Amino acid sequence: MTAALRDALLSAAVALGLFAPLVGLAMDNGDQGLVLRTRPLAAGIMVALVFFGRLGMHLWVARPGREARAVRRSIAVPKAASKYIAPALLIAAVLLPLSGSRYYVDLATLVLTYIMLGWGLNIVVGLAGLLDLGYVAFYAVGAYSYALLAETFGLGFWTCLPLAGILAAFAGVLLGFPVLRLRGDYLAIVTLAFGEIVRVVLINWVDFTHGPNGITDIPRPTLFGLRFSNDEGSDTVAAFFGIEAQTIHRVVFLYYLILALALLTNWVTLRLRRLPLGRAWEALREDEIACRSLGIDVTKTKLTAFATGALFGGFAGAFFATRQAFISPESFTFIESATVLAIVVLGGLGSQLGVALAALVMVGGLEMLRDLLSTIGEHMGSELFSGLAGDLPTYRMLIFGLALVAMMVMRPRGLVSGRTATATLGRQDA
């Protein structure tokens, strides 16, 4: 007890050092330069949190026997439930537009975009074990491919979708070639640099990409040549089916489109995992040297992983462009790469279901929490809730970062562990 108390006090002292200047003192941009403002309460709360958190950790968590039980429980639950969760999620996803709520369909479209990106990145990071910090580059290549092809040659969405994917895959191979020789952490930095190069080029090559202004009026996708539009043309969906034109039709159509694309990604990944290529990816992840000794072509294996991951990133990018109808380099920052990576890591590096759940919680959950808080704030007329809702996007990345660290420290194999090899000899220990 005394030891716990002393340790907690020590932690609190460290926390005081950490938080006193950066939380306790705030710099405000005043009229005449910066003004210091003191916030003793905020710093005090943080320090107190650390103190009691540390004390609580000693008194409850560290009790013998407790940890072992907790670990066993958390592994057992996903094993049994995952058989039912995936079909249930799928049914829910297919039926969702029947609710008729535009808000939920829009939100689900966003979540599905991240699920698709997560599954795409999962091929590179989760299966092949190549840490890619510049995944957003492929997303950007896909989005700009579609936007520029549509603008320059007037091509439609369905022609451009494969083209965008192929161009992104080319970008993947382009990145893959020079980095073949690099080990894990160097590779991560180079892919990061690649992502930044793509973004800087998009900003500065004004003649080609319109620079920071972005591209506007990107055409919407059509349903077998029928447009989703409110105008009086004969080639609109509404005119063809003889129904009243509504914006929600297009929203629902886009939703099913991304659902189909995401399911395609999932299906291809699952099939690839059973091919020799997929097995080679997993072998590469576990041990590159052993892999090479066994006669696996490491070059080919790495390049296909990059290309396949990039392909789906490109599809997702083209979808993003057509949904937003506007893209600019702003949308393709490192933060996006980090978000997708966080989703893949939280999902458990290699688990398809885990990625879907992580995206649902991290993107959809936070978005809904914000709306919930602002609704409560409006109803109660309380400043506190509205303020919290407004701050939530700022805290979102903070939560992401903390989750990444916590995940690595506590369960490095992910929430739903899927890192077990698909093919093993003999009995398999999870």
Partner 1 sequence: MQQLINGITLGTIYGLIAVGYTMVYGIVGMINFAHGDIFMVGSFLSLIALLGLAALGVTSVPLALALTLIFAAGLAALYGWTVERIAYRPLRGSFRLAPLISAIGMSIVLQNFVQVGQGARVKPMDALIPGGIELMNQGGFAVQLSWMQIAIVATTLLVLAVFTWLVTATPLGRSMRACEQDIRMAGLLGIDTDRTIGLTFVIGAALAAVAGLLFLLYYGVIDFFIGFLAGVKAFTAAVLGGIGSLPGAVLGGLLIGLIEVFWSAYFSVAYKDVAAFAILILVLIFRPSGIMGRAEVEKV
Residues that bind partner 1 (CB under 8 A): 14, 17-18, 21-23, 25-29, 33-34, 36, 129, 131, 133, 178-179, 181-186, 188-190, 192-194, 196-197, 200-201, 203-204, 289-290, 334, 338, 341-342, 345, 391, 394-395, 397-398, 400-405, 407-409, 412
Residue among 92 and 193 whose Cβ is closer to partner 1: 193
The minimum distance between CB 253 and partner 1, in angstroms, equals 35
Alpha helices in 205-333 (DSSP H): 206-209, 237-241, 247-274, 276-286, 288-293, 298-324
Shortest distance, position 404 Cβ to partner 1, whole Å: 3
Tokens of 153: 């040659």
Q: Using the minimum distance from each CB to partner 1, give the nearer residue, 100 or 387.
A: 387
The DSSP string of 184-202 is HHHHHHHHHHHHHHHHHHH
- Three-state SS across 359-387? HHHHHHHHHHHHHHHHHHHHHHCCHHHHH
Per the structure block, which two tokens stand in for 395? 């805290």
Give the list of residues 6+ apart from residue 362 with CB closer than 8 angstroms, or none: 114, 339, 342, 343, 346, 400, 403
Looking at beta carbons only, is 221 or 348 nearer to partner 1?
348
Give whichever of 77 and 410 is closer to partner 1, judged by the CB atom: 410
Smallest distance, partner 1 to C-beta of residue 197, A: 5
Contact by Cβ (8 Å): 335, 400? no
Smallest gap from residue 423 Cβ to partner 1 (A): 20
Q: Smallest distance from the beta carbon of 188 to partner 1, in angstroms?
A: 6
Instruction: Give the number of residues written for the chain.
Output: 430
Rounded distance between C-alpha atoms, residue 306 and residue 8, angstroms: 47
* Nearer Cβ to partner 1 (229/301): 301
* Least Cβ distance, residue 24 to partner 1 (angstroms): 9
Tokens 């393709």 correspond to 332
Which of residues 18 and 110 has its CB atom nearest to partner 1 in the complex? 18
